[in-house]
């Protein structure tokens, strides 16, 4: 366990915002976390649960305690000829888990390659990409309540998963800390390739294998998304909005080319937020040190020493323009802190 005061968080958030925390606590086990909760170290003060820092935007210093999980480990719990259940520590880097699953011949996570962040944040956000959401493979989530350090286990089907949504962002927000996530992965092929250009990229690599699907996803993502080491960013800044089928039909009259994904029984339609933003002329544009990436309009970037407020100002300008043009309200994926 490590406890530090007035600790800089600049290298612990992928936007690279220079913010600090009154106190920073790094723990490596559930027992250490229980000790922290049982002590007076976090009583009656604001608490921020930090994972990989890939979904945060600091607009000021954090006047409270940052809890940062370093819980590691990938362990097989159950296994048969068809599937395997694994237990993974919240502090494991997400893509390390995906790589491990591919190397071991386990199916289910390959479409989620190189999503930034740690395992503990995956169920909170219900991360997803290329037709797959992590809810599809989560068996259960466990952790501790912050008020009394009691242990909880929530089955995956009780986590209230929805598009970029879960119980950990609603009724349990600020109430719990995730320590381990259990995944149920397949041992037989079950690829999902009918999203975007994924199948074409896989075919370019030859046979449809776990490794080739992973490499295809990596190639596509790297071609569109900036490296946080070069330009600070949090990946997709906005959610893809979901609108009614009636609203979509009205929009389609003015914009026949509007890309869309029909959900359910033709009642809802998902529209790519990046297309809406690009249509409003924001792709590649900037305000001060905050900009919209020139390859993917869904990504806001720190062009160099941007403040969190500069990025928020840019986001608000984009939101206003999209609403004016399409009557669609963009919702942020990124959590603004401060």
Question: What is residue 93's three-state secondary structure?
Answer: strand
pLDDT digits (tens, 9 = 90+) for 231-260: 999 989 999 999 999 999 999 999 999 999
Q: Which residues participate in catalysis according to the annotation?
A: 164, 236, 333
DSSP 92: S
Q: Which residues of the chain have pLDDT under 50?
A: none
Q: Can you tell me whether residue 77 is helix, strand or coil? A: strand
Sheet containing strand 2-8, strands side by side: 2-8, 20-27, 62-69, 47-50
In this prediction, residue 266 carries a pLDDT of 65
Predicted structure pTM score:
0.90
User: What's the CA gap between 208 and 199, in Å, rounded?
Assistant: 9
* pLDDT of amino acid 163: 87
**What residue ranges define each of the domains in the chain, with the CATH number in brackets?**
2-69 (3.30.43.10), 74-223 (3.30.465.10), 232-336 (3.90.78.10)
């Amino acid at each position: 366990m490590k406890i530090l005061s007035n600790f800089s968080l600049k290298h612990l958030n992928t936007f690279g915002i220079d913010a600090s925390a009154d106190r920073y606590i790094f723990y490596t086990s559930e027992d250490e976390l229980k000790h922290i909760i049982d002590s007076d170290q976090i009583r009656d003060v604001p608490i921020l649960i930090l994972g990989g820092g890939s979904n945060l935007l600091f607009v000021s210093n954090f006047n409270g305690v940052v809890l940062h999980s370093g819980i590691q480990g990938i362990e097989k719990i159950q296994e048969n000829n068809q599937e395997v259940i694994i237990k993974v520590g919240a502090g494991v880097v997400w893509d390390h888990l995906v790589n491990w699953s591919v190397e071991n011949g386990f199916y289910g996570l390959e479409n989620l390659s190189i999503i930034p962040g740690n395992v503990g944040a995956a169920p909170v956000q219900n991360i997803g990409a290329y037709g797959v959401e992590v809810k599809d493979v989560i068996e259960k989530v466990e952790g501790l309540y912050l008020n009394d350090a009691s242990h909880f286990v929530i089955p995956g089907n009780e986590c209230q998963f929805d598009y970029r949504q879960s119980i950990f962002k609603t009724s349990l927000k600020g109430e719990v800390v995730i320590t381990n996530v259990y995944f149920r992965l397949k041992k037989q092929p079950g690829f999902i390739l009918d999203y975007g250009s994924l199948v074409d990229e896989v075919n370019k690599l030859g046979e449809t294998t776990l490794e080739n699907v992973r490499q295809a996803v990596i190639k596509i993502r790297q071609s569109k998304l900036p490296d946080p080491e070069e330009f600070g960013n949090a990946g997709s800044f906005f959610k893809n909005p979901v609108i009614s089928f009636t609203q979509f039909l009205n929009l389609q009259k003015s914009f026949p080319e509007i890309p869309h994904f029909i959900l359910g029984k033709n009642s809802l339609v998902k529209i790519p937020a990046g297309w809406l933003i690009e249509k409003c002329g924001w792709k590649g544009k900037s305000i001060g040190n905050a900009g919209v990436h020139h390859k993917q309009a869904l990504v806001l970037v720190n062009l160099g020493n941007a403040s969190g407020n500069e990025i928020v100002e840019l986001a608000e300008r984009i939101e206003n323009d999209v609403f004016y043009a399409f009557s669609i309200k963009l919702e942020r994926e990124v959590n603004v802190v401060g």
